[in-house]
Amino acid sequence: MLDLKQIRQNPQTIQELLDRRGIGQYDLKPILELNQRQRELETSRTQLQARSNEIGKLIGQKIKAGNSPNSPEIQALRADGNQVKSTLSELEPQEKELKVELEALLLTLPNLPSESTPLGKSEQENVEVRRWGDQYLPENDKILPHWEIGEQLKILNFERAVKIAQSRFVTLMGAGAALERSLINFMLAQQTTAGYLEVMPPMLINSQSLTGTGQLPKFAEESFKCDADDLWLAPTAEVSLVNLYRDEILEASQLPINHCAYTPCFRREAGSYGRDTRGLIRLHQFNKVELVKIVHPSTSEEEHQKLVRNAEAILEALKLPYRTIELCTGDIGFSAAKTYDLEVWLPSSGKYREISSCSNCLDFQARRSNIRFKEVGKKGTQFVHTLNGSGLAVGRTMAAILENYQQPDGTVRVPEVLQPYLGREVL
């Protein structure tokens, strides 16, 4: 959530930063108008409350001085006081209603892009930062798409998944299930070695948690809701890991907090009709190892670079060619101020495809979730900064392995670092 005080004091600057995401998408005028009305009501209420207190004090003084409680003067003061209380009783619900409206509007505003985020209108203007792994590009020029080789090896079954659920689900069989489990174990081992504390959070999360990290209210249609309860299937472990600390005041000495978690993730993919309808790229249910950092504001940029390197290290250990992209202002996510995407090479299509998105949200999620910290010897509290990234999306990693390690004879080599986990060298 953006700072309302900052919006009120610097509306032109905030509007210009929001316009970097797309001119005309976000308008501060309704928020400023509501806030002005709320402040006027608050001033009126404060003045009336002071007048009510003054009348009450005056009545007490006069009665103490010997005036009869039923004297005309006292009766007039009481009538005046009752009128003030009546007006107050009308103003208070109006002010409360305005506050609810104002907060609802604030929740629709995205984070402000970082000053260092490249300017651009769409993904076509994202900036490539680096590439890695050209020496590992496969020599086989007849590489099958991962879903075809997976079905030939009888490790991916999409038809049976439709029986159980619907399209855009997959059933992993035999070595496919073992490969997925091996990837999860490998990723968690790598990230815990890198200093992340492993967490296994609930798969069902409440609306307040989704609001805290920015999925609600804007992206409600992207998530699966349990209608009988205020619970949703987790779209990403980012939600759970950040909300572990919702409404808490941490000690500065506790920072940074580094968590990793393997979870299934559930998304409707409502805005992706017709895209990636085959394979493991865009499923309604997929596994992911997520990285979350909760840090001191002074270190968030440095911690962001570390998080990106932690995700890149997985791809390098698996010897999967990838590139790192810095997203432009028109392509960063709702809660992000700055984002790097890692894109893995998929030779069957001759394209790099996203496999991890690593974002610095600054204090945006912390404001929505009310996560603060205090420092020894300093008054007051500050909001933490939150960062998140995939380390990695497991299904997409499997897709990359099935294509990059595919052999001319129809087998797939197992990456060397996975062989101890999987117990085999070839699929």
Residues labelled as active-site residues: 267, 282, 354, 357, 396
| Distance between CA atoms of residues 237 and 394, nearest Å | 13
Tokens 């009310």 identify what position? 370
Assign 151 to helix, strand or coil.
helix
| Distance between CA atoms of residues 188 and 198, nearest Å | 7
| Distance between CA atoms of residues 312 and 258, nearest Å | 17
Indicate if the alpha-carbon torsion angle 277, 279, 282, 285 is positive or negative.
Answer: positive
Q: Which of 296, 409, 396, 301 is nearest to 351 (CA)?
A: 396
Determine the distance from the C-alpha atom of residue 181 to the mean position of all C-alpha atoms in its chain, rounded to a whole number: 25
| Distance between CA atoms of residues 362 and 377, nearest Å | 24
Q: How far is CA 218 from CA 104, 105, 222, 328, in A?
A: 11, 11, 9, 21
Kindly calculate the radius of gyration of the chain based on its CA atoms and give it in whole angstroms: 28
Taking the alpha carbons at both ends of the chain, their separation in whole angstroms is: 48
- Complete DSSP assignment for 20-59: TT-TTS---HHHHHHHHHHHHHHHHHHHHHHHHHHHHHHH
Q: Which of 199, 383, 394 is nearest to 285 (CA)?
A: 394
| Distance between CA atoms of residues 69 and 62, nearest Å | 9
CB distance 332 to 359 below 8 Å: yes
| Distance between CA atoms of residues 34 and 44, nearest Å | 15
Assign 353 to helix, strand or coil.
strand
- β partners of residue 232: 205, 225
- β partners of residue 341: 325, 357
